[in-house]
A and B are shown apart, each in its own frame.
Chain A
Amino acid sequence: MTILIWILQLLFVPALSPLCVGIIRKIKAKFQNRVGAGIFQPYRDLWKLLHKDEVVSKDASWISICAPFIVFAVTLIVGASVPLLASFLNNPYTGDLLIVIYTLAIGTFFLALTGMDPGGAFGGFGSSREMTLSALAEGGFIFSLLTMAIISGSTNLFSISQFGGVAQYQHLLPVLLAFGGFFIVLLGETKRFPFDNPSTHLELTMVHEAMLLELSGKRLALMEWAASNKLLIFIALGANLFFPFGIAGSATLGAMGISLMAFIVKMLIFCLAIAVIESSIAKFRFFRLPDLLITSFILNVVAISLIRL
């Protein structure tokens, strides 16, 4: 049974992440009075891209050739290292919060290099912005997970998930503050509003899409897929560290079923929140974004100071 759950854990993120993107797009379409594509459209897009020929820039080096695979593989590892359906798995090898953060950073590193590799005028700027934002997001990211680690007495994400998040009423305030900080980082790291506009390619403020401009075919598919994996990873972190309701505490079929249902519901709520934010506010000016990220860090520092063990 445990082996089955591990396989589920491994395949869960890549299997479900395009759906997540599809749902957000669908909700946004509804807000804009459009019908919108079906929620399974991202799967079709990936399948289409994976079967296309591709063009590689003559200025590109092996970095561009390899990076999509590295970025994708990194999200697979991290996807398997965060609590998804079962908090009892207790992965002592790669389940540490710093491992997750820095392994994701490998992806960011190669993604940014891919942006610079073909020597286009857009890619370099995308990389510069990406690295600026992710450097400033790092403090909030580490500290929001650290707040939970200190409360629960372990930096292992599965143990944090087991601990109960907001269900521990005596720590309600720090947990909520940490979640506020985390949610800002979620928007920043997954390049959503107000940080970046995920649906345009040609806007002067673009970050993520600018770096992918020279990619095509399977490499573009892998990068897009990795980006949606990252989104789902952040949603899973937010859902299962701060609100771990329903997550399976034991390896029984019933518990797993409830856990799956609970996770889908939580995922839908996160998707709804992201879609509502994207439909209701404008993208921020680039130099206002650091304020937001520093706010996330400050929220977490306050949260840490409020912890009374």
Chain B
Amino acid sequence: MTAIFTIQSAFLSLLGIFLAGAAGSLILRKNDSWANGWSSFCAVTGSLVGAIFGIATMISGNNLSFGMASPLFPLLSISFYVDTLSAFFIAVISIIALFCSLYGFGYVKHFYKKYSIGALGFFYHLFIAGMILVVSASNGLFFLIVWEIMSVASYFLVVYDRNDENNVKAGFLYLIMTHIGTAFITFAFFLLYKFTGSFDFEAIKAGSGALPVAIKNAVFVLAMIGFGTKAGIVPFHIWLPSAHPAAPSHVSGLMSGVMIKTGVYMMIRLFMDMLQPIPTWWGLTVLVIGAVSSLLGVLYALSEHDIKKLLAYHSIENIGIILLGLGSALTFSSIGMPVIATIALAASLFHTLNHATFKSLLFLSAGSVINKTHTRNMEEYGGLIKFMPLTALFFLVGSMAISALPPFNGFFSEWLTFQSLFQGIASADVIVKWFFVLGAGSLAFTGGLALACFVKVFGITFLARPRSDEVFHAKESSFSLIAGMGALAVLSLIFGVFSGYLITFLEKAATGMGFLKNATTITSAASGHGALSVGNGFASVSAPALFVFLLVALVVSVIVFRFVINRHQKVKVGMTWDCGTNLRPRMEITATGFARSIILIFKGVLKPSIQQEITYDDAKSRYLPKSHVIIMGIHDVYYSYLYQPIIKVVTVLSSWATKIQNGNINVYVLYVLIALILALISAL
């Protein structure tokens, strides 16, 4: 009893710290540095408590469940349920929030005197608290409220830099999209309420067996659209590449790293827990969505040269990879293979953790670059590795992790995802098998394209010669930024090397929900000495061994070639070969040029466009062009094929509505009368 009580008070004090942070920032808003100090202090402390709370709950396995009914609204009860899955997400949110807040302490200084730091702190704390509440709420209505707190707080953070008109536009798009999503979620909960008679998650779970098939399927579709919009799946992703870059970088890191994962959390909660058992086509649908999102996400990323937009597109790609894991878990669970389902779900959770780590790392380092160069356009970077060596190193770590290069963490979660897909290819029946082939194929190409994309980002941003004068003014960021990024970079390596030990935690998180509970007693993906293994010797990999081998091979080759064979030779510094001309920055490859060949190869999907504008010295003779502008872009297929038709339909419907609403009050009174008569007749 006391144990449960202390867990409960730990959880409440966690929320209390964030509320104190929010309130304190508002109170201290007159003084920028005080507000920043208090806000960062509370955020760091709260995140630390949250991380400890999440990890401790996962280790102990004690589920926390408490609530209080609200006397005013009979359906709303403020109830919490924290099992290992929720605890895992709380831990992920807190760990990322910890380092983002640390980074934020130094980062927001350039907003002093420009915007209100107190307001930033207020919404920042509400945002983090909102996310933690989202993954721990266990009542439908209460969930919708905290979901809304999270969404609205993040909206205000997106439009924080409000002097830039584009940010306000991006924020508006985000606000609309997130509310469309919320509408679908609300509808899903109402359907569940109508057929189970409760908003309480436990009650819904108990009553889900009695749901009619059609309603269950409808809930799936609604939830997929609603939570998919937040997670950023294609084609509901359009808000993501504009909203994430607009926010301050430490908030971008949080939004991309963890906020979109709350959508994934609810998918797991609904499909793996509350609505079990589920039909096979749900899992296959999620697989297809994952495959499409991952491939398209990385292709759009390749075509970007706004560094933060590019990273935002990679979030779509990685959500796709997470959904590949989740989709296989759902499929395996519905065709009676709980052991592999557990591993697939663990893979998906592992990738959630890993993506949170390296994506926030990448956003933070991109923020550090933008802070010094005052532009998000990669074409104006170049050579930054000499001006910001540590930022470059951390960005390199993030790039390698996201491109799934061992020994960093991204590889090991992709390895597990691949292995679960392979299991599907190897063992499932013919039709199901093809979905897994599709998933594995898209994951394979995604991996290769992501690698190409990050060669582009790193090469264009940090290598070669500076492409604009801004770069020459850049210098290394301050300590708090370096500390935040450095810690995340170290975590990326640690999560990779110790993946074999980490996996037992992830399996615990995966099996916290009822039906997978007995699965891991048979086999676990952890197989001693930090190795991972899948399917009774089907596959195994040892991260520590690989890490040590790489290190030893590197050290040995350096010693042999540098200090034994070649120890007397001189190294001379010279010019890059320039074919006899004067080598200027304009002669280096550009980000657009680098990705152009891949874009042309995938022109069926990306539909690249070229606009040319030529102005002539003499408009009549048209021989001597004065200026020549070429705009290369890609055609937005979602906009023209999905959103444009919807907008048209809405416009037509609205114009019909204006026929009824003609502004004449007498007519409105008539409407009231007709409505009243109709109501009376129907009541008879």
Interface residues of A (CB under 8 A from B): 50-63, 69-70, 72-74, 76-77, 80, 92-94, 96, 98-99, 102-103, 105-106, 108-109, 112-113, 116-121, 123-125, 127-129, 131-132, 134-139, 141-143, 146, 149-150, 153-156, 159, 213-214, 217-218, 221-222, 286-287, 290, 297, 301, 304-305, 309
Contacts and interface: CB of A to CB of B under 8 A. Distances in A.
A55 B574 CA distance: 6
Contact of B463 (A63, A132, A217): A63
A292 to B, nearest CB: 12
Contact of A57 (B444, B574, B594): B574
Identify the interface centre among B382, B400, B601: most chain A CB within 10 Å of its CB.
Answer: B601
Given A57-B574, A102-B406, A153 B546 contact: no
B444 to A, nearest CB: 4
Given A51-B569, A77-B549, A93-B541, A59 B404 contact: no
Given A118-B576, A154-B539, A304-B437, A109 B451 contact: yes
A109 B437 CA distance: 26
B511 interface: no
B452 A102 contact: no
Given A99-B541, A118-B464, A128-B597, A93 B531 contact: yes
Contacts of B583: 119-121
Given A57-B574, A134-B448, A76 B542 contact: no
B538 A153 contact: yes
B456 interface: yes
20 contacts: A53-B571, A53-B572, A55-B572, A56-B573, A57-B574, A77-B546, A93-B531, A94-B546, A99-B546, A105-B405, A105-B447, A106-B405, A106-B406, A116-B463, A119-B585, A125-B589, A127-B589, A137-B448, A139-B441, A301-B441
A297 B441 contact: yes
A72 B383 CA distance: 25
Identify the interface centre among B463, B573, B577: most chain A CB within 10 Å of its CB.
Answer: B463
Interface in B383-427: 383, 385-386, 392, 400, 403-406, 411, 415, 418-419, 422, 425-426
A3 to B, nearest CB: 16
Contact of B550 (A52, A53, A73, A301): A73
Nearest first, the 7 closest Cβ-Cβ pairs linking A and B are: A124-B589, A138-B448, A119-B464, A135-B448, A116-B459, A131-B452, A93-B545
Nearest to A81: B549
B566 A156 contact: no
Interface in B496-544: 531, 533, 537-542
Interface of B: 382-383, 385-386, 392, 400, 403-406, 411, 415, 418-419, 422, 425-426, 437, 440-441, 444-445, 447-449, 451-452, 454-456, 458-460, 462-465, 531, 533, 537-542, 545-546, 549-550, 553-554, 556-558, 561-562, 565-566, 569-579, 583, 585, 587-589, 593-598, 600-601
A261 to B, nearest CB: 29
B562 A94 contact: no
B385 A70 contact: no
Nearest to B408: A106
Given A52-B569, A93-B545, A99-B415, 18 more contacts: A57-B574, A57-B576, A58-B574, A69-B562, A72-B557, A72-B561, A73-B553, A77-B550, A93-B542, A94-B546, A96-B539, A113-B458, A128-B595, A128-B596, A131-B452, A132-B601, A155-B539, A221-B561
A96 B418 CA distance: 12
A54 B569 contact: yes
Nearest to A47: B565
A113 B385 CA distance: 12
A74 B546 CA distance: 11
A113 B594 CA distance: 12
A117 B385 CA distance: 10
B414 to A, nearest CB: 8
Given A57-B575, A112-B459, A143-B441, A135 B464 contact: no
Contacts of B406: 99, 102-103, 106
Identify the interface centre among B382, B425, B545: most chain A CB within 10 Å of its CB.
Answer: B425
B540 A156 contact: yes
A55 B441 contact: no
B577 to A, nearest CB: 6
A298 B185 CA distance: 40
From DSSP, what is the main secondary structure of chain A's interface residues? helix
Contact of A56 (B382, B540, B541, B571): B571
A134 B385 CA distance: 25
A103 B447 CA distance: 13
A70 to B, nearest CB: 6
Given A93-B541, A142-B444, A50 B553 contact: no
Contacts of B451: 105, 108-109, 131, 134-135
Contacts of A54: 569-572
A38 B570 CA distance: 30
B574 A76 contact: no
Contact of A94 (B445, B549, B576): B549
A286 B589 CA distance: 18
Given A61-B385, A116-B459, A124 B565 contact: no
A109 B566 contact: no
Contact of A127 (B419, B459, B565, B571): B459
Nearest to A111: B455
B283 to A, nearest CB: 20
B411 to A, nearest CB: 6
B271 to A, nearest CB: 27
Given A52-B569, A131-B456, A218-B565, A116 B448 contact: no
A4 to B, nearest CB: 19
A63 B461 CA distance: 13
Nearest to B410: A102
B557 A287 contact: no
B456 A121 contact: no
B129 to A, nearest CB: 39
Contacts of A120: 576-578, 583, 588
Given A131-B455, A150-B425, A109 B400 contact: yes
A129 B597 contact: yes
Identify the interface centre among B383, B426, B589: most chain A CB within 10 Å of its CB.
Answer: B589
A136 B448 contact: yes
A298 to B, nearest CB: 10
Contacts of B437: 301, 304-305
A154 B454 CA distance: 31
A159 B553 CA distance: 25
A59 B465 contact: yes
Contacts of B400: 106, 109
B545 A214 contact: no
Nearest to A70: B554
Contacts of B574: 55-58
Contacts of B575: 57-58
A42 to B, nearest CB: 16
A304 B436 CA distance: 11
Contacts of B595: 128
Nearest to B302: A135
Nearest to A76: B553
B540 to A, nearest CB: 5
Nearest to A140: B444
Identify the interface centre among A58, A116, A159: most chain B CB within 10 Å of its CB.
Answer: A116
